[in-house]
Amino acid sequence: MPRGREPAIGLVSPPARALGEISSSSRWRGIGLGCVLMAACSCRSDGAPSGTPRPAGSAHAGAPNPFAGIGHVGNQVKGIDAIPDYDQEAQALRDRVLPRLPDPLPEARPACVAMLDAARQFYVDTEGEASTAVKTMEATRQADLRACEERTEPAAAACVAVLMAQSEGEYPWVLDQCSRAFPRAPAG
């Protein structure tokens, strides 16, 4: 390997380390680079050090969400200060989806079948009939159907079916958000 092109220590495969393809000086350069990167990332995006509290009113609270869909997880560059309030987003999702749910709501089994069918169709449309996602959904369908009937509120399953038909996100994410928006009633 030419000098100056050594990979950082954390990126070296165990076989390369075993063969001694990395000099100790490149190890120290890799560690030094890691320390520089960590130091560079210790500030919030608004310029204040991460240990400093944000001034009142500077957070995103109350600001309209420019991303109406539920697939947006937040600005990863802004870090922990930009983590969305998923429960609040689920409530907004509930308000948005409720008028589009079937009335009356289907029983658990038909709602779950519609949910799984919509999720499968989403992956067929986006990845193709022979994709790994479609094959996985087919292989786990019976177990997923049982789990849905046992753990998922019919309104949540109907919510997933509506949103998957509109390609509003990956199936696990949409299921999580719809389950938060329409939680299962406590047993008993």
What pLDDT digit, counting tens, does each position of 124-136 carry?
A: 999 999 999 999 9
pLDDT of amino acid 77: 63
pLDDT at 46 over 90: no
Q: How far apart are CA 105 and CA 154, in angstroms?
A: 7
Return the number of other C-beta atoms located less than 10 Å from residue 94's C-beta. 19
* pLDDT-above-90 percentage for the chain: 48
pLDDT at 21 over 50: no
What pLDDT digit, counting tens, does each position of 164-181 carry?
A: 999 999 999 999 999 999
What pLDDT digit, counting tens, does each position of 50-93 carry?
A: 444 444 444 444 445 544 555 555 555 666 767 778 888 889 99
pLDDT of amino acid 186: 77
pLDDT of amino acid 29: 47
- Is residue 181 within 8 Å of 174, Cβ to Cβ? no
Q: How far apart are CA 188 and CA 177, in angstroms?
A: 24
Q: How far apart are CA 186 and CA 188, in angstroms?
A: 7
- The domain spans of the chain are 9-40, 87-181
- Alpha carbon 24 to chain centroid distance? 39
- Mean pLDDT, rounded, of the chain: 73
- Is residue 134 within 8 Å of 122, Cβ to Cβ? no
Mean pLDDT of 87-101: 92
Return the number of other C-beta atoms located less than 10 Å from residue 11's C-beta. 9
Mean pLDDT of 25-36: 46
Residue 49 β-bridge partners = 43
Nearest to 119 by CA among 145, 99, 100, 101: 145
